[in-house]
């Protein structure tokens, strides 16, 4: 437990964000769940763990779920048959949610990037195509009760088929147009797998300063992040950068640095938001 307190102490840990309540009547209240780093697989009782997490989400009855990437474990270095089966397993399990699910891409969701996979780059589902064909566009947006939600693809490729944190120029132009179109008053929430800001400064999107600068010109209330399997809330230039722990914690081997398996539950009321980390009660089966 001490390790958790230490992590949160060094973050500016604030649980709410104030906006002009008069612009958001009571009927705009809602809640949603952000769950990241599921790393679903048939091994390690991960399917049982994910189902337990889904059951807890359904109990909370949020309006929708946003995932933060690394949905499966894993497609990076695996052949087609393994990657295909993992995506099918995720789709099968996700059908148990009783509300819409909006998926964000993570590095482990990229098919055949590593050369050890034996997958040629000409394969019709190579790279991000498998995610796009099965689940969602690699970057997208939607609106809910006066709030605007944007999912970004924060994964770049090197020439030697490795991944790194990067938001490409196509997305940057799209993001700028998207934000300009909604204006500077509407509250915005961003989701990205690799963080834009974290106490672990070496594990960030490499062009994060540029992206943060774009966001700071608008009413972005929060950036929801994954990848690190830790819990943070850093309040910087009026934006909460919330790293959401991990559904799988230590890759389904128990707690990670004292942090149990869990997800973020966000409640919005009259333009304010609060969040809590939900430990959904799964335990490692020896």
Domain assignment present for residue 183? The answer is: yes
Domain assignment present for residue 6? The answer is: yes
**Percent of the chain having pLDDT more than 70?**
90
Choice between 243 and 23, residue whose per-residue pLDDT is larger: 243
pLDDT digits (tens, 9 = 90+) for 69-87: 999 999 999 999 999 999 9
pLDDT digits (tens, 9 = 90+) for 25-62: 445 799 999 999 999 999 999 999 999 999 999 999 99
Helices (H) and strands (E) counted in the chain, each on its own, are: 6, 14
DSSP state, 45?
T
Average pLDDT of span 98-123:
98
Report which of 37, 70, 41 is spatially closest to residue 229, judged by C-alpha positions: 37
pLDDT score at 25? 44
- Cα 71 from Cα 55, distance rounded (Å): 17
pLDDT digits (tens, 9 = 90+) for 235-248: 999 999 999 999 99
Full residue range of the structural domain in which residue 28 is found: 2-273
Q: What is the DSSP string of 206-267?
A: TTHHHHHHHHHTTTEEEEEE-SS-SEEEEEETTEEEEEE--TTTTTTSS-BTTBPSEEEEEE
- Cα 283 from Cα 286, distance rounded (Å): 9
Domain assignment present for residue 114? The answer is: yes
Domain assignment present for residue 137? The answer is: yes
First-last CA distance in the chain: 22
Average pLDDT of span 187-209:
96
Instruction: Residue 132: give its domain's CATH number.
Output: 3.60.21.10
Domain assignment present for residue 80? The answer is: yes
What residue has token string 């997958």? 119
Cβ–Cβ under 8 Å, residues 142 and 102 = yes
Residue 13 pLDDT > 60:
no
Report which of 79, 74, 77, 141 is spatially closest to residue 104, judged by C-alpha positions: 141
Domain assignment present for residue 118? The answer is: yes
Domain assignment present for residue 18? The answer is: yes
Domain assignment present for residue 115? The answer is: yes
- Cα 124 from Cα 103, distance rounded (Å): 21
How far CA 247 is from CA of 20, 138, 218, 264, in Å, comes to 33, 21, 30, 10
How many domains is the chain built from?
1
Average per-residue pLDDT for the chain: 91
pLDDT score at 5? 31
Residue 274 pLDDT > 60:
yes
Model confidence band, residue 106 (pLDDT cutoffs 50, 70, 90): very high
Nearest 10 degrees: Cα torsion 180, 28, 277, 4: 60
């Amino acid at each position: 437990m001490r390790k958790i307190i230490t992590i949160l102490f060094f973050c500016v840990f604030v649980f709410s964000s104030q906006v002009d309540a008069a612009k958001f009547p009571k009927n705009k209240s809602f809640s949603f769940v952000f769950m990241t780093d599921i790393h679903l697989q048939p091994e390690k009782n991960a399917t049982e763990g994910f189902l337990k997490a889904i059951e807890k989400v359904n109990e909370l009855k949020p309006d929708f779920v946003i995932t933060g990437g690394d949905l499966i474990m894993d497609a990076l270095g695996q052949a087609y048959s393994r990657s295909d089966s993992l995506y099918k397993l995720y789709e099968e399990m996700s059908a148990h949610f009783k509300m819409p699910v909006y998926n964000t891409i993570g590095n482990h969701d990229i098919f055949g990037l590593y050369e050890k996979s034996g997958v040629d780059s000409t394969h019709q589902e190579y790279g991000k195509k498998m995610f796009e064909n099965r689940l969602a566009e690699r970057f997208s947006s939607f609106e809910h009760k006066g709030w605007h939600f944007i999912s970004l693809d924060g994964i770049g490729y090197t020439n030697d088929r490795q991944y790194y944190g990067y938001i490409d120029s196509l997305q940057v132009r799209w993001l700028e147009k998207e934000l300009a179109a909604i204006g500077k008053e509407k509250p915005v929430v961003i989701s990205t797998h690799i963080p834009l800001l974290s106490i672990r400064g070496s594990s960030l999107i490499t062009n994060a300063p540029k992206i943060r600068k774009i966001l700071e010109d608008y009413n972005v209330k929060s950036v929801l992040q994954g990848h690190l399997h830790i819990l943070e809330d850093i309040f910087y230039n009026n934006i909460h950068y919330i790293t959401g722990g991990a559904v799988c914690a230590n890759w389904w081997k128990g707690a990670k640095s004292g942090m149990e398996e869990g997800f973020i539950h966000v409640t919005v009321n009259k333009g304010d938001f609060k969040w809590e980390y939900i430990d959904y009660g799964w335990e490692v089966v020896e």
